[in-house]
């Protein structure tokens, strides 16, 4: 079963930010400012001043560092698709492992007369 994981990503290059990163710093891959509107959880292009919070005035440059007091770094919940070790069991012996050719042969055997 696939689990989920909470991740922080750079909105510019998509790099996964390691836990404990400095939200007032820059992205380690592309040097994009992390404390900017585009990285904020409240950034919404359809909202007034492009923010879901009641900001008093519009911040013109959404990709530059700012001093917004509502800023909260956006995190996402993603499927954890990291490979895991397959369980070792006696049922997974080399004789019982199915190969793609076996499936094709079984399909063809269905329609033989």
pLDDT confidence of 59, banded at 50, 70, 90? confident
The pLDDT tens digits of the residues spanning 1-30 come to 678 888 888 888 888 888 888 888 888 888
Q: Phi and psi dihedrals of 108, rounded to 5? A: -65, -35
Distance of alpha carbon 43 from alpha carbon 71, whole angstroms? 9
In the predicted model, what is the mean pLDDT of residues 78-95?
A: 60
In this predicted structure, the answer to whether residue 87 has a pLDDT above a threshold of 70 is no
| pLDDT of amino acid 14 | 82
What is the token pair recorded at 66?
């700012």
Categorize the per-residue pLDDT at 52 as very low, low, confident or very high, splitting at 50, 70 and 90. very high
> Are residues 31 and 15 in contact, defined by beta-carbon separation less than 8 angstroms?
no
| H-only helix segments in the chain | 100-110
Of the pLDDT bands very low, low, confident and very high (cuts 50, 70, 90), residue 100 is: low
CB-side exposure of 8: number of CA atoms within 13 Å?
18
């Amino acid at each position: 079963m696939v689990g989920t994981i909470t991740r922080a990503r750079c909105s510019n290059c998509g790099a996964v930010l390691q836990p404990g990163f400095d939200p007032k710093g820059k992205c380690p891959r592309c040097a994009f400012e992390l404390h900017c509107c585009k990285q904020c959880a409240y950034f919404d292009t359809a909202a007034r001043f492009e923010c879901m919070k009641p900001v008093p005035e519009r911040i013109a440059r959404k990709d530059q560092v700012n001093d917004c007091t509502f800023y909260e770094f956006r995190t996402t919940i993603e499927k954890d698709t990291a490979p895991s070790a397959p369980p070792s069991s006696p049922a997974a012996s080399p004789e019982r492992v199915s190969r793609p050719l076996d499936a094709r042969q079984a399909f063809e055997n269905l329609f033989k007369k």
